[in-house]
Amino acid sequence: MTNTNTNANIKSNNYITITDRTKQFAIRIIKACCFLDEKPGIYRALSKQLLRSGTSVGANVRETQSAQSDKDFIHKLEIALKEARETQYWLEILIESELVDKPKFTLLLQEATKLEKS
């Protein structure tokens, strides 16, 4: 096997891992937002922001499957990275404002940070 094929296989294996991770992350975000939506006012507003960015990470990673070039592939991953950072922001706001149970939402924040670094 040539080096190029090996790199492609490694890239493919990493891609499967990140798509699975971002999908699982989106599911966790949805569950957190369901909890937030049960509360009135500001909780719902923040929930909508968190839901948009938190589920968008995986959607943008999935979009890379139809990238038309390496440049397009990178661009789609950069969008996913931006969404991960935005998700971190909303999670930090929820945690630091003491609106949510810190341990549960800290785990989501930690996963968002890991995804950003992946």
CB-based contacts of 95, cutoff 8 Å, min separation 6: 102, 105, 106, 109
CA dist 94 and 90 (Å) reads 6
The torsion region of residue 2 among left (phi > 0), alpha (psi -120 to 50) and beta comes to beta
Does 5 score more than 50 pLDDT? no
CATH topology of domain 3-117: de novo design (two linked rop proteins) (1.20.1440)
The pLDDT tens digits for 19-53 are 999 999 999 999 999 999 999 999 999 999 999 99
At 97, phi and psi to the nearest 5? -85, -5
pTM: 0.83
Domain boundaries, the chain: 3-117
**pLDDT for the residue 47:** 97
